[in-house]
Chains A and B, each alone.
Chain A
């Protein structure tokens, strides 16, 4: 599974023009925000104040990664509109 995903990751990127490197990096950055899913899982099994505190911080971090990541990528890509006629 892990190996397969690695191979796919190599394959997907190798054909990208330099122009889109920054948005692409930002896009990949958003995807690792999936760690929020892991935060949800540990939130379900947390039982002590220490664990709850860790969950709260991790949730804030991960959500900022997801929400901010996708919004910023979208903002960058929004700029690549081609204008109609000159």
Chain B
């Protein structure tokens, strides 16, 4: 390691920190990401040059490049092709392969050194493969849940605590064995147990909590990478891994806070079964009033002030462009319109902002919950598009699954229009009292269809 190499790695580390820092504001975020990517490029270039200088066989580099080509093609293809609604699960997928790679690096080094593996390397490698293994399968399950390939409901199989405990016992026993005598097959057993634990850990968690889980697993991967750094004595890996581990932990806590969930409660799982929590008191009278697109259009067109509340249904229907078109039309008519963004609207914090930005909605029109909540009282029409639990007044009362969750005060608006496909439940699996409120009209349709109809109606009815 000469001075130039050291400086290069240091520059990369600084670029990562500054890059994350620049992501604090929408104006500089993109630059921050580019800076971070540049740091990555520098660190990789330095390492590649060192490899080229020190290698005496070509097989390693050739195999490496083959893998790199496959990974780059796959990663780029997915990153370009996956629609905006699929972002959370895509991040989870990239997190999974990162964790898998971290575990594989430790395994490769362990195989090479064995049977003469020192205690320090053994401990680091163990931590790396255990965390990496859990992250790999856990992130895949989380992505599967969001994508709908794995049920979003908590999977509570009998004896899951016993299974988890048994897996932990296997990992611990394997770790003790390896500290006494290095042995590759035992390491493989430890990895398999860790991977199974990852599945057992995420399966019982409901889909609503997936953002928190993905963020937590992201921090796990960072930690696994730092451990890989200890295995390889690589300062760059230790620093970058620790940075992601720490920042990911903070981000996880922020997300959990926004959902009024504790990280511990998330990991215990079982939230959102829909049959554990009793139906909210007062939901017995579920007579709902449905409205036609024409009626809703007239209400919107003649309103003075409208607040739009987007939720996951908007994302699922890919209706952000239709929504933005309708809002443009209302603004042209002189209606005061803004968007109320709940911290966890959609599937993760910031999800709605990204979607609406894609539809060219100007950033200042998006208002965060705390900023907009007092405005509902002075609002003529609140238009709820595919949002559910984040608007449920039941959250203000104790004793139900959404109790205590901060919600948007949609029920304070003079009238409410809810675009929803059916009376289906949200993630919390309970009735939304907002729907049976006297001032609420339900427009039962797919968000895209409904918004297109509303736009057409506004044009034809009120010109």
Contacts and interface: CB of A to CB of B under 8 A. Distances in A.
* Interface band, chain A: 35 or more
B374 interface: no
A17 B28 CA distance: 13
Nearest to B361: A83
B251 A13 contact: yes
Given A44-B51, A55-B60, A22 B354 contact: yes
B51 A9 contact: no
B117 interface: no
Contact of A43 (B51, B84, B94, B249): B51
Interface centre among B21, B71, B109 (most CB of A within 10 A): B71
B87 A22 contact: yes
Interface in A8-47: 8-10, 12-47
Interface in B137-159: none
Given A13-B247, A32-B244, A43-B61, A21 B111 contact: no
A24 to B, nearest CB: 5
B379 interface: no
Nearest to B254: A21
Determine the main DSSP class of B at the interface with A: helix
A32 B246 contact: no
B48 A40 contact: yes
A5 to B, nearest CB: 4
B75 interface: yes
A33 B436 CA distance: 49
Nearest to B332: A86
A59 B70 CA distance: 9
Interface string B196-235: 0000000000000000001100100110011011001011
Interface in B71-111: 71-72, 74-76, 78-80, 82, 84, 87-88, 90-91, 94-95, 97-98, 100-102, 104-105, 107-109, 111
A52 to B, nearest CB: 5
A54 to B, nearest CB: 4
B112 A19 contact: no
Nearest to A45: B112
Contacts of A28: 20, 218, 222, 243-244, 247-248, 251
A75 B91 contact: no
B236 A61 contact: no
Interface centre among B20, B214, B254, B360 (most CB of A within 10 A): B20
A80 B388 CA distance: 26
Contacts of A36: 44, 68, 101
Nearest to B328: A86
B177 interface: no
Contacts of A69: 75, 79, 91, 94, 98
A13 B36 CA distance: 15
Given A1-B235, A2-B226, A51 B51 contact: no
A67 B90 CA distance: 13
Contact of A35 (B13, B33, B65, B98): B98
Given A9-B245, A83-B362, A40 B20 contact: no
B246 A41 contact: no
B230 to A, nearest CB: 8
A61 B100 contact: yes
B225 A61 contact: no
B353 interface: yes
Given A27-B19, A37-B44, A19 B26 contact: yes
B185 to A, nearest CB: 12
The 6 A-B pairs of least Cβ separation, nearest first, read: A59-B67, A9-B246, A63-B71, A68-B75, A79-B357, A21-B349
Interface of A: 1-10, 12-48, 50-52, 54-83, 86
